[in-house]
Structure 1
Amino acid sequence: MAFCSRLNASNSSAIAFPSSPARHRHPLAAARASNSSNQANGVDTFKSQEGAGSKSTSSCDVMKLFNDVQQNMLFLNKQRIDALDGLQRVEREKEILAAKLSLLEAEVEATVSERDMLKQELQDIKAIAGEGRGMQNGKGNTGIEGYAMPSPVFSELLLRIDSMVLTGAINIEQASRLKSLVSKQDAQAAKTFLSLEPQGDKELAFGLLPLLDPNRRFGLHITHICTELDPIAISGAIGNFVLNLSRALQRKGNLVEVILPKYATMNMDAVQNLRDMQVDFRSFFGGQWHRNKIWTGVVHGIAVTFIESLHPGGFFLRDHFYNYSDDFERFSYFCRAALDYILKSGKQPDILHLHNWQTALVAPMFWELFASQGSGDTRIVFTCNTFKYQCLQEPAKLGLCGLDPVRLHRADRLQDIVQPNFVNILKGGIVFSNKVTTMSSAYAYDLDHGHGLQSTFMAHKNKLLKVFNGLDVTVWNPAIDANLPSRYSSEDLSGKVSCKRHLKQQLGLSSNDSIPLVGCLASQVSDSDLELIRATLNCSVMKGAEFVVMGESKIAELQIEFEEKGGKIIKSKDDSMAHLLMAASDIVICMLVDEEAAELPLIAMQYGSVPIIKQQEASEGSVKDADDVSRWMDANAFIYRSGTPQDLMVAVIKAIDCSVNDPERWKQLMRNGMSKDFSWDGECVEAYVSAYMSMK
């Protein structure tokens, strides 16, 4: 009875009782009415003046009244609960409608963005076409805002097709199919025509007819999800890698775009056509949908989407890009937001290209949550510049972005090998990607540099690719290198001899040009690398060669030994000296200790120096062993089989002997290296395109 009284007292002021039939009239009101009536007749029903019978009747009436109160309260509470449920349903429907509206707005904005991007590409093509033909407007300049005036490329191609038919270069059926390419304004057909137009009909036909191949490869849609891009967000080597690879891929006819976080500290001056899409885009994280702003722009011709997080944690409103205690939360949020954006904007890229542990979580997230939503044809490539940084986290944190910790915390998935109580985010990128590459050579896959992931490499060895980065041939090219006293090329090597004399004079070495010079760039070395350098010094002295190493830190430990044996150590970070050492050396010892040093074999070959490189570090596509009889005609390097000083010494002896005793073969090795295209447009981009196509 006391509980019912408290319940009534607490609710009577907040609840207005509705009108109801007589049997549901307010019991207290009925009691007052009854009591008032009895008092008017001089009778008090709550006094026991009428004996036991009256007392019993009064108790029953009170009990009945309170029972009625309880029934009414239950009835009203049920109505209130039903009303709250209805309100919650309305709120949920409102959120669903808002999400649908946001999706439609995003799709509209994405369509506008893609339209703008296509317009920009068309302008670029027209500009290139106009510049290639020397077209000018009536005022004698190259048009508005630096763009050349467009020329009627396809109209002229149409006329040339008729000419090729009349001259017998092609038949009528081929002409019809080529005209179909013209009607579609095929960019590759226009590009081929512009490059071959000055030549005859037969030569033009020879270039155009391969475009009719039914198996012709058309461009891919490649989306990079990354955390850096040169020059707007640079911290390490990844930003330069993404920019150069993207530009090379786009020059090959592929559609390339980049998705980045919008940091508070970015060089936005380098972004063209920066635009706030003005959409309320939401992404899932921590059990809630959080707002983001979407920005778009163009960086060196590449379409870029910036995701500006409005999460209360201020994930990207920091002074630096990395090294915060909540880096996992920051970048897992970005990974989920990037995938939510791709889904809601209707994009279906052929390839998602991920970079380093910060975006590795995209791979398991894609296959676990997004592939079933219409993106099952997309494939994933994961590139890492070092496997040293892996990001270990408690499994429960995977739930923040919607992943199932129990499902993924397994040895064949994300469970860390060394610390099994944690999940390894970098490992997730390896396990759930279709192809895995490094930003250098394959050194990171071997037992010396695997950082505990060797068993994972073995389990996924069929997806590991060995690809060297492309070289920036505007920087590393002996024919135009301003750091050299004399420039040279594979056709005229006399400048290389001059560079060798210049360096030896600076270092006080012998003036004899016939003495082989062995060079080594070693900015960061381990104790085992010091032993290799010592072995090279001893071997060079024994064979009558000279050895110069450029580096700092541990290299200084060998100073006295070098001076005693006639070797030279250059303690400098002077970039021009590094260029001169590459040009002056006959032989270059390559120690691939980081992603920057991974370019050394290619730089050496570009400068006509023959590299000596460890087998695991040698890309099969670029480096070919001079000790392999089957590779004699295209060999360009000496490869030693293991990391022991003894094996390195054997390779050094073979290289020195070849340079001294077989000068004709040595020149062939030099020219083989110099003749290869190590630019981003050469073997590097072809290797990535082949990898992409093999997955499709």
Structure 2
Amino acid sequence: MRIAILAAECAPVAKAGGLGDFVHGLGRALQAAGAHVEILLPDYDCLRHELIQDRQVLREDLPLTFAGQALRCRVSSGRVDGLDCRFFAPQSNAAYFARGAIYGEPDDALRFACYCRAALEWSRQCSGWPDILHCNDWQTGLVPVLLYEDYAPRGPDPVPDPGLDAVRVCYSLHNLGHQGWVEPNVLTAVGLDASRLMTPDRLGNSAGSSSANLMQGGIVFSNFVTTVSPRYAWEALRTEQGCGLQDVLARKQAQGRFAGVLNGIDWSTWNPRGDPLIAQPFDADRLALKAANTAALRARLRLQAVNKPLLAIVSRLDRQKGVDLIAHALVYTLAKKGQCVLLGSAQEPQIQARFERLRDAYQSHPDAHLELGFDEALAHQIYAGADFILVPSLYEPCGLTQMIAMRYGCVPVVRRVGGLADTVFDANFCVKPPAERNGFVFDDAEPAELEFALDRAFGLWTDYPDQFKQLQINGMSIDHSWNGPAQDYLRIYRWLVGGDPLEEH
């Protein structure tokens, strides 16, 4: 089976968040399972070029029409961590991907629309159509729309495009909070009929907005839609987490074409048995060796070497991640005679300033350390050395932090949302058997709820060390690798290949 994954990111060469990890992890697992995988990416000037092997230009002048202009696109190839990648650089005065950044440009919608057109033209003119086009988030939402509205043969005597009738589209939603609301001229730029598409059953909405919703278009025109966890799929249908897309997702579910597939983590990168970035390798059979990492972490961050529970936060500091609860947990943990470590930073100046004040206030505290930035090696050592990881998100489509932490015997304390609810099962209040319990969970985003979860966590650590150790072992025993999710996606792909072609909308 031939699979092309289209996305704005792919770790480690183009990563701004979890999407990059998804593309890299799923791509490698699909390839290991025997699929032929290609990653189709914009050719950003800020790619980590040193991580691309065998880089070469395949086409200097792939023709495409965009925004009324006849453009040429340079298409390059290379291998990233064993994955075959194609990089698209439209040659335009707008220099769409020579901006020094992946996101954040005022014309992001046009940039990614041009990328969508270029990737499809590459398939049509050069590489041939794959069996599966796996698209991701709003940046690739135009791909399934274009496939039906522009590429599918029409009229009384259609001229078939070899292989197009067999193409199926799987569309993954990583965060419904970012849907790609754009002006209709973006649709016109790729050659679509905006007036035809600006209806509630396509890319418009019933509220009469003049903007087009690229994510909604991707949902409507694709053959199958996934989210990155089963719980997030449920929330998208039944709660405000659907962000206005509840009805269109419900129609997809009624067709049997909507599901949540839990993400995995890179099992080789996050492996305490052989991690070169931690002080002392260990595993579930040698859990006592984790103490050396705790000692190393305390020494590195100048925390006092005492017998106290150590709570960690490794997170972006934004509202989604529950910054009010994070700040409260710092103060509360110290009041409960615990230790606390934070690694993260904020893009919003107000939030960054808040945590800078906290950092300064606790700068000489023997039980607290705030590192406002990101340090990959320190993140590994925190997971290896901490007793608990806190993830109090207001919403969390999947979440990787809690899975990584469990791999290192670091017990999660999380809010019951999204992928956190799918992966963390409370030590005290859970219908699962004790062998499957692996953390502490709270429901409401309120300080009292968080405090109750922390009290139970610290109490178990202090009073029942054997039970705490069993909780660590339970978490370390779970397979959160990409092997299982890759098999889930292969089942979806096989079902699609044997199913119906693109539908009229």
TM bin, normalised by shorter chain, reads 0.7 to 0.9
Relative to the length of structure 2, the TM-score reads 0.77
Structure 2 counterpart of 1:676, one-letter code: I
Counterpart Cα distance in 2 of 1:287 and 1:634? 58
Q: Structure 1's 524 and 533: CA in aligned 2 closer, same or farther, altered over 3 A?
A: closer
Counterpart Cα distance in 2 of 1:340 and 1:652? 54
Counterpart Cα distance in 2 of 1:318 and 1:572? 26
Conservation of the 8 A alpha-carbon contact between 1:260 and 1:307: yes
Q: Structure 1's 520 and 323: CA in aligned 2 closer, same or farther, altered over 3 A?
A: closer
1:302 aligns with 2:83: yes
Q: CA deviation at 1:524?
A: 0.8
Structure 1 counterpart of 2:217, one-letter code: G
Q: What residue in structure 2 maps to residue 465 of structure 1?
A: 260
Counterpart Cα distance in 1 of 2:186 and 2:321? 39
1:401 aligns with 2:190: yes
Counterpart Cα distance in 2 of 1:367 and 1:381? 14
Counterpart Cα distance in 2 of 1:429 and 1:242? 18
Structure 2 counterpart of 1:436, one-letter code: T
Structure 1 counterpart of 2:148, one-letter code: W
* Residues 20-68 of structure 1: per-residue CA shift (max 9 Å, x gap): xxxxxxxxxxxxxxxxxxxxxxxxxxxxxxxxxxxxxxxxxxxxxxxxx
* Residues 231-278 of structure 1: per-residue CA shift (max 9 Å, x gap): 655566544542333222111100111233445676667342625358
Structure 1 counterpart of 2:227, one-letter code: T
Q: What residue in structure 2 maps to residue 254 of structure 1?
A: 35
Counterpart Cα distance in 2 of 1:559 and 1:333? 43
Secondary structure of the 1:470 match is: coil
Q: CA deviation at 1:649?
A: 2.5
Q: What residue in structure 1 maps to residue 2 of structure 2?
A: 221
Q: How many residues align?
A: 472
Match 1:338 to one of 114, 119, 142 = 119
Counterpart Cα distance in 2 of 1:618 and 1:237? 13
CA RMSD of aligned residues (A): 4.1
Secondary structure of the 1:341 match is: helix
Counterpart Cα distance in 2 of 1:340 and 1:332? 12
Q: CA deviation at 1:492?
A: 0.9
Conservation of the 8 A alpha-carbon contact between 1:439 and 1:595: no
Q: Structure 1's 642 and 419: CA in aligned 2 closer, same or farther, altered over 3 A?
A: farther
Match 1:481 to one of 275, 278, 285 = 275
Counterpart Cα distance in 1 of 2:113 and 2:460? 54
Secondary structure of the 1:678 match is: coil
Counterpart Cα distance in 1 of 2:356 and 2:463? 34
Secondary structure of the 2:399 match is: helix
Q: What residue in structure 2 maps to residue 496 of structure 1?
A: 290
Secondary structure of the 1:354 match is: strand
Secondary structure of the 1:468 match is: coil
Q: What residue in structure 1 maps to residue 202 of structure 2?
A: 413
Q: CA deviation at 1:676?
A: 2.6
Q: Structure 1's 510 and 441: CA in aligned 2 closer, same or farther, altered over 3 A?
A: farther
Q: Structure 1's 385 and 231: CA in aligned 2 closer, same or farther, altered over 3 A?
A: same
Counterpart Cα distance in 2 of 1:313 and 1:538? 49
Structure 2 counterpart of 1:568, one-letter code: A
Secondary structure of the 1:618 match is: helix
Q: What residue in structure 1 maps to residue 56 of structure 2?
A: 274
1:306-455 mapped onto 2 (5 Å cutoff): 306-310=87-91, 315-316=96-97, 322-345=103-126, 347-371=128-152, 373=160, 375-415=164-204, 420-433=209-222, 434-438=224-228, 442=232, 445=236, 453=245
Relative to the length of structure 1, the TM-score reads 0.58
Q: What residue in structure 1 maps to residue 384 of structure 2?
A: 583
Q: What residue in structure 1 maps to residue 348 of structure 2?
A: none
Q: Structure 1's 659 and 314: CA in aligned 2 closer, same or farther, altered over 3 A?
A: closer
Q: What residue in structure 2 maps to residue 638 of structure 1?
A: 440
Conservation of the 8 A alpha-carbon contact between 2:229 and 2:398: no
Structure 1 counterpart of 2:437, one-letter code: A
1:663-682 mapped onto 2 (5 Å cutoff): 663-680=465-482, 682=483
Q: CA deviation at 1:404?
A: 2.4
Conservation of the 8 A alpha-carbon contact between 1:440 and 1:599: no
Counterpart Cα distance in 1 of 2:342 and 2:96? 44
Q: CA deviation at 1:335?
A: 1.6
Q: Structure 1's 418 and 472: CA in aligned 2 closer, same or farther, altered over 3 A?
A: farther
> Which region of structure 1 is more displaced relative to structure 2, 248-257 or 661-670?
661-670
Q: What residue in structure 1 maps to residue 430 of structure 2?
A: 628
Structure 1 counterpart of 2:371, one-letter code: K
Secondary structure of the 1:604 match is: helix
5+ long unaligned stretches in structure 2:
154-159, 346-351, 498-505
Secondary structure of the 2:146 match is: helix
Counterpart Cα distance in 2 of 1:550 and 1:273? 35
Q: What residue in structure 2 maps to residue 524 of structure 1?
A: 317
Conservation of the 8 A alpha-carbon contact between 2:356 and 2:372: no
1:172-191 mapped onto 2 (5 Å cutoff): none
> Which region of structure 1 is more displaced relative to structure 2, 383-392 or 443-452?
443-452
Secondary structure of the 2:164 match is: coil
Q: Structure 1's 586 and 331: CA in aligned 2 closer, same or farther, altered over 3 A?
A: closer
Q: What residue in structure 2 maps to residue 651 of structure 1?
A: 453
Q: CA deviation at 1:409?
A: 0.9
Conservation of the 8 A alpha-carbon contact between 1:363 and 1:432: yes
Q: Structure 1's 563 and 419: CA in aligned 2 closer, same or farther, altered over 3 A?
A: farther
Conservation of the 8 A alpha-carbon contact between 2:227 and 2:397: no
Could you say which structure has the higher helix fraction?
1
Structure 2 counterpart of 1:255, one-letter code: H
Q: What residue in structure 2 maps to residue 55 of structure 1?
A: none
Structure 1 counterpart of 2:145, one-letter code: P
Secondary structure of the 1:633 match is: helix
Structure 2 counterpart of 1:517, one-letter code: L
Q: What residue in structure 2 maps to residue 13 of structure 1?
A: none
Q: Structure 1's 375 and 665: CA in aligned 2 closer, same or farther, altered over 3 A?
A: farther
Q: CA deviation at 1:549?
A: 3.7
* Residues 40-99 of structure 1: per-residue CA shift (max 9 Å, x gap): xxxxxxxxxxxxxxxxxxxxxxxxxxxxxxxxxxxxxxxxxxxxxxxxxxxxxxxxxxxx
> Which region of structure 1 is more displaced relative to structure 2, 444-453 or 582-591?
444-453
Q: Structure 1's 543 and 455: CA in aligned 2 closer, same or farther, altered over 3 A?
A: farther
Structure 1 counterpart of 2:448, one-letter code: Q
Counterpart Cα distance in 2 of 1:632 and 1:694? 36
Counterpart Cα distance in 2 of 1:608 and 1:645? 26
Counterpart Cα distance in 1 of 2:417 and 2:340? 24
Counterpart Cα distance in 2 of 1:240 and 1:522? 15
Q: CA deviation at 1:565?
A: 10
Match 2:368 to one of 552, 568, 571 = 568
Secondary structure of the 1:639 match is: strand
Q: Structure 1's 481 and 412: CA in aligned 2 closer, same or farther, altered over 3 A?
A: same
Q: CA deviation at 1:419?
A: 7.2
Q: CA deviation at 1:493?
A: 1.3
Counterpart Cα distance in 2 of 1:539 and 1:316? 45
Q: Structure 1's 275 and 395: CA in aligned 2 closer, same or farther, altered over 3 A?
A: closer
Q: Structure 1's 243 and 578: CA in aligned 2 closer, same or farther, altered over 3 A?
A: closer
Q: CA deviation at 1:361?
A: 0.7
Q: CA deviation at 1:674?
A: 1.2
Q: CA deviation at 1:525?
A: 4.1
Conservation of the 8 A alpha-carbon contact between 1:382 and 1:430: yes
Secondary structure of the 2:412 match is: strand
Conservation of the 8 A alpha-carbon contact between 2:76 and 2:87: yes
Counterpart Cα distance in 2 of 1:481 and 1:346? 39
Conservation of the 8 A alpha-carbon contact between 1:501 and 1:511: no
Structure 2 counterpart of 1:362, one-letter code: V
Q: Structure 1's 230 and 595: CA in aligned 2 closer, same or farther, altered over 3 A?
A: farther
Work out the percentage of aligned pairs sharing the same amino acid: 28
1:56-205 mapped onto 2 (5 Å cutoff): none
Counterpart Cα distance in 2 of 1:342 and 1:438? 27
* Residues 270-320 of structure 1: per-residue CA shift (max 9 Å, x gap): 342625358x75434456765545544544443333445355765556665
Structure 2 counterpart of 1:356, one-letter code: D
Q: CA deviation at 1:542?
A: 6.9
Q: Structure 1's 568 and 414: CA in aligned 2 closer, same or farther, altered over 3 A?
A: same
Conservation of the 8 A alpha-carbon contact between 1:592 and 1:617: no
> Which region of structure 1 is more displaced relative to structure 2, 666-675 or 363-372?
363-372
Q: CA deviation at 1:422?
A: 0.9
> Which region of structure 1 is more displaced relative to structure 2, 478-487 or 262-271?
262-271
Conservation of the 8 A alpha-carbon contact between 1:541 and 1:565: no
Structure 1 counterpart of 2:380, one-letter code: H
